Structure 1
Amino acid sequence: MPFFFNTARVLATMAFASGLIGSQLAAEQPDSQTPISKDSVIEIYVGKTWVWSAGGSYWAEDGSFFAIWKRKRVAVGTWSATSDGRLCYDATWHEAENSTGNDMKRCWRHVVDSQGVLWKQDVKNQEWYVPKNEFQTRLKTGNRIKSGVKRLRQRYGV
């Protein structure tokens, strides 16, 4: 009997907590979703490297996309911006010599809420967030990953 009682109490507590967490997450989204323009998306990313914890991605002026991850994976593809505020890349990731690679497409939505605050959503996981200082701290002018991309492309024959 004590085992059931404790299990029931734990389950009830988890259900209550998940309800609170779920409601907090649901509240963290823009109150309105006016997409930023295609030109605005391009202006934010073109000619810049998005610096990650263990790599980065470069959004070239000609629509080329390059990325590296942990000095052993390289992506080569294209990127685009859309009139509904999306930034997308479509690339093949390689991590072995002569591999066919893994195709991947990722997109992020950019909208403005009723107060004029810019929000960003990873379309894959549907989570919204306010980029705050992301564009100032993580987007760097120029191709900061060029040498790493070149080295890995040569190594893997892509």
Structure 2
Amino acid sequence: MNLRKTRTGQFELGNWEAPTKTQMQRKLGAAGYFRWSLLVSVCVSAVAFTNIAHAGESVSPSADAQPMTGVELYMLYRDKSWAWTDGAGRFDDAERRFTASTGVGDKIAWAQGRWIVTDDGRLCLNAEWHTMSGVHANTSCFSHKRAGETIYQKKEPSGSWYIFRHAVPTETDEFKKLVAENLVSADIGTIKSDLQNQKRLAGNTLTNASKRKTQ
């Protein structure tokens, strides 16, 4: 078993290119560009794993809890899908490939990159997220501690610890959302198509608005 920590990922960027800052400023004007850039920032923050964070009651790990090893995390996540409220992430063993799909309507997004585990209990997801506003690199990490059969997790850097898996797993454990079924691959093609359509419509809207301003 080889827990490689570095490898160049291959990302499919598609045929659409996000407009440059200068192009957006010309089309929207200074005030319009500021509102647009603020919206992009908010959307990226909303997409980048905020829906993974568990909303359960925060707890403090027991005194005997220790960081999980890279091997333990590898065995926990490999070839599993993590089901989220509005999507899922997939942890393929081959080349530690990570893929994800999430959101509905104009908040849809998909991602591709790699998942990495370390001996200090961290699972990190390095991916490029494809959203309405373009392609955005994102790294998100989760810390894990273990005491016997109980696993604690928190999202870095400011999340709260909670019980990811009880010693005797319950139906409400986040651990129960790790399943063998691939919940991502079938959705990515549809999301790619939807994003292309939305970007095309948005481009037409910006072009028409610019034309009206110059008339």
TM-score, length-normalised on structure 2? 0.53
Asked if 1:107 corresponds to 2:117, the answer is no
**Structure 2: which amino acid aligns with 1:54?**
D
What pairs up with 1:36-75 in 2 under 5 angstroms? 36-62=68-94, 63-71=96-104, 72-75=108-111
Whole-Å separation in 2 of the counterparts to 1:65 and 1:40? 18
| Percent identity of equivalent pairs | 23
Asked if 1:82 corresponds to 2:118, the answer is yes
On the 8 A contact 1:106/1:124 being kept in 2, the answer is no
1:142 counterpart residue number: 181
1:119 counterpart residue number: 152
Question: Which consecutive segments of 4 or more residues in structure 1 shift more than 3 A?
Answer: 153-157
Whole-Å separation in 2 of the counterparts to 1:32 and 1:80? 25
**Structure 1: which amino acid aligns with 2:112?**
V
* Deviation, structure 1 residue 119: 1.0
Cα deviations by residue, 1:18-55 (Å, 9 ceiling, x for unpaired): xxxxxx96xx3113441111111011111011000100
Cα deviations by residue, 1:126-153 (Å, 9 ceiling, x for unpaired): 3111113222x21110311111123334
The worse-fitting range, judged by mean Cα deviation, of 77-86 and 141-150 is 141-150
Whole-Å separation in 2 of the counterparts to 1:46 and 1:116? 18
Cα deviations by residue, 1:54-87 (Å, 9 ceiling, x for unpaired): 0010011121111111142101111111111111
Asked if 1:96 corresponds to 2:135, the answer is no
List alignment gaps of at least 5 residues for structure 2. 1-56, 166-172, 197-215
Whole-Å separation in 2 of the counterparts to 1:117 and 1:140? 18
Whole-Å separation in 2 of the counterparts to 1:64 and 1:86? 16
Q: Secondary structure at the match of 2:190?
A: helix
**Structure 2: which amino acid aligns with 1:67?**
A
Q: Relative to total residues, which structure has the larger strand share, 1 or 2?
A: 1
**Structure 2: which amino acid aligns with 1:146?**
S
On the 8 A contact 1:111/1:119 being kept in 2, the answer is yes
Provide the alpha-carbon RMSD of the alignment: 2.3
